[in-house]
Amino acid sequence: MNTVIDIRDRLKDVEAKFASVEAALSDPAVLSDPEELKKQSKLHNELGRIVSKYREFQTLEEQIAQAEALAHDSDSEIAELARSEIAELEERREKLLNELRLLLLPKDPLDEKNIIVEIRAGTGGEEAALFAADLFRMYTKYAESKGWKIELLSSNVTGLDGFKEVIFGIEGDHVYSRMKFEAGTHRVQRVPETEAQGRIHTSAATVAVLPEAEEVEIEIKPEDLKIDVFRSSGPGGQSVNTTDSAVRVTHLPTGLVVTCQDEKSQHKNKAKALKVLRARLLEIESQRQQRELAETRRKMVGSGDRSERIRTYNFPQNRVTDHRINLTLYSLDRIMDGELDPLIDALILEEQTQKLKSLE
């Protein structure tokens, strides 16, 4: 019962905050400030979902109280009907209470951010590079299904159209909240196109998911940058164009290096390189602020070795296994075609479950 009382107190605070936001939305000062109006409207939507459920919860409580009064009625038939209704109402209240607990869980401040994704071929040579290309296609399909926008930032293509490395941005609604679970080493088991004997090989690719940083969050001083330009080249050293359009940006204080050469414009390549650099610097800053997560990137990516993995894709059995939650699905063909929700929804549920346990 203490938990219910505690939740009621928190819900009353949310309701009071919702009322103040509603008042702010009719304030001429807010209405004339586009940024503040956007901020308050967003907060109104978020709080509104909780308040709506809270009011539904209050109605149920009133109905339970009325039924409990009737349960002691002198008419035995009415009393029996009331007791039956109480059981049904209490079941609905418990379900609603769990929904409210989830809504009140602390939000990850990064969840609403756009992201930079870095996929790199790990152990396995050319087959790992081909698998990296498959992962890129899988995420592209998933993004399209969500109505998200993808922007290719940098790529290093192999002779068989695999990727030694591919970096891309994804923009949309709550992108990081769903894609953050993709960070880690992905292992594949299949017969490679490069294998003449038909033997199953195991190889790996690493995925890093970085929340995109706004310029106001990460300031990059011009004097901290070393910018080199050179001629873009394709697989095997083949020249892509005849101008020095490729850009290599080195951040001198940290030693971070970002190279972009996919665009024919030097200015566009520089802008993309700075976008990736800013995301990497935000990650470093986040790690500094949260000391307990100082090894996040190392754990996220690992070495690309076969033994380190968050997920295994077994093509002969059409099977995918997420090792973090011991979930196995026999729908690899659909998952590789971008149907990632069954995996991601299960991971989100596990995260919410662990958060709820930590509050008990």
pLDDT of 309 reads: 87
pLDDT of 224 reads: 87
pLDDT of 168 reads: 95
Determine the Cα–Cα distance for residues 148 and 339; give it in Å rounded to an integer. 14
pLDDT of 1 > 50? The answer is: no
Q: DSSP secondary structure string, 306-331?
A: TT--SEEEETTTTEEEETTTTEEES-
What is the overall mean pLDDT for the chain?
84
The token duo for 268 is 């566009």
Tell me the percentage of the chain whose pLDDT exceeds 90: 34
For the residues 231-235, what does the mean pLDDT come to?
64
pLDDT of 292 > 50? The answer is: no
Tens of pLDDT, residues 5-58: 578 888 888 899 899 999 998 988 988 988 888 888 888 888 888 899 999 999
For the residues 195-205, what does the mean pLDDT come to?
83
Listed residue (110, 301, 139) closest to 214, CA to CA:
110
pLDDT of 261 reads: 85
Three-class DSSP category at 155: strand
Tens of pLDDT, residues 254-275: 888 988 887 888 888 888 888 8
Instruction: Report the side by side order of strands in the sheet with 115-121.
Output: 149-157, 163-171, 115-121, 201-211, 184-190, 311-314, 319-322, 327-329
The token duo for 355 is 């958060």
pLDDT of 146 > 90? The answer is: yes
pLDDT of 234 reads: 56
pLDDT of 297 reads: 44
Q: What is the pTM of this model?
A: 0.68
Residue 256: burial class (beta carbons within 10 Å; 0-12, 13-18, 19+) = middle
Determine the Cα–Cα distance for residues 149 and 146; give it in Å rounded to an integer. 9
* CA 209 to mean position of chain CA atoms: 8
| Helix segments in the chain, DSSP class H | 2-24, 28-31, 34-70, 76-103, 125-146, 175-179, 266-289, 296-301, 332-336, 341-359
Bigger pLDDT: 244 vs 297: 244
DSSP code, position 233: B
Taken in order of first residue, the domains within the chain and their CATH numbers are 2-103 (1.20.58), 108-360 (3.30.70.1660)
pLDDT of 238 reads: 47
For the residues 118-136, what does the mean pLDDT come to?
93
Report for 6-20, 123-137, 271-285: range of highest mean pLDDT: 123-137
Q: Are 303 and 295 in contact (CB under 8 A)?
A: no
pLDDT of 138 reads: 97
Q: Residue 237 — very low, low, confident or very high, per pLDDT cuts 50/70/90?
A: very low
pLDDT of 312 > 80? The answer is: yes
For the residues 76-87, what does the mean pLDDT come to?
84
User: Which residues share a beta bridge with 115?
Assistant: 170, 211
